[in-house]
Chains A and B, each alone.
Chain A
Amino acid sequence: MTIKLLKQLINYSYNNNLLNPKNVNRIAGLLNRSDLKQYIRAIKIQERKLSVFIDVPINNVSVKGKFKEIFPNKKIVWNIDPLLMLGAKITNDDMLFEMNLKNTLDKILLSIEQDYD
């Protein structure tokens, strides 16, 4: 399978940046095993490109809408991580924005281990 064809299949699998399960199933039925693997991997990459993963320590955050404003064309995936204290972790494709106490403590710990070794 060529890259061009793979891109066409990915474009066909999405409608308004949303995965169309019907089209995906149709394409999956037509592909052989190795092509299917490539297709799934490409879909995963595309999903990651179109999604923003936000980890917060509590559920039902009141400012969810405001995050939508910052990432208007992206699907926001919320994840509750109680270990994150006082902040959030935002993964946008290959960009990571982390501002929480857990990360700060991790950095301090890493710094201590590097300094004393």
Chain B
Amino acid sequence: MEIIKNFGIDPILLGAQIVNFLIVLFILRKFLYKPILDTLKKRRDKISEGLKVTEEANVRLEKIAKDEKTILRNAENQVKKLLEDAKKEASDLLRKAEDLTKVKTDRLLLEARQQISLETREAGNKLEKKISILAIDFIRKSIPSLFSRNDQEIAVKNVLGKLKKIS
């Protein structure tokens, strides 16, 4: 006790200071620390929530990027498939058109051949007719001079013989 007094410490004052300190501590704790701590907690929570959201967003972003890649790959595949289908279809159409053209050409060719054949036959017939008529005309004009009176007499006698047979 003596020592404490030597150091200048008054126990009553110390007790009062302790009480004061406790009162101040209580007040600070009640009105200052708690709201600050609450605010800090809220802020920590918010930050934590923000980080979580960011993490989720990153995850979602990654997923979206992955999905995008998948979609792009799918789209690319679809486009490739479409292109292949289109090429195949175009090829089929071309082949069909070629086949159709060939059929049409063949038919036209056949018709043309038939027409040519018909016209050739007709021309041949006309020519035969002309030649025959010319030949007969030629005979008509050339033959009379070839027969003598005697030939004509024989022919008339021949007619007479036939006439006798009939009558």
Binding site for B on A (CB under 8 A): 56-58, 61-63, 66-67, 70, 82-83, 85-88, 90, 97, 99-102, 105, 108-109, 112-113, 116
Question: What DSSP secondary structure best describes chain B's contact surface?
Answer: helix
Assembly CA distance A50 to B156 (angstroms): 22
A85 adjacent to B149 (CB under 8 Å)? no
Number of A-B contacts (CB under 8 A): 69
In angstroms, Cα B59 to Cα A65, docked, is: 143
Number of B residues, CB within 8 Å of A: 27
Asked whether, in the complex, the Cβ of B163 is within 8 Å of the Cβ of A90, the reply is: yes
A12 to B128, CA, bound (A): 59
Of B21-29, B44-52, B135-143, the one contacting chain A is: B135-143
Nearest Cβ on chain B to A91's Cβ, whole angstroms: 12
Expressed in whole angstroms, the Cα–Cα distance for A89 and B158 within the complex equals 12
Report the nearest B residue to A116, measured CB to CB: B129
Q: Across the interface, do A63 and B164 meet the contact criterion of CB distance under 8 Å?
A: no
Given contacts A82-B144, A112-B132, A63 and B156 within 8 Å (CB-CB): yes
How far in angstroms is the closest Cβ of chain A from B124?
Answer: 10
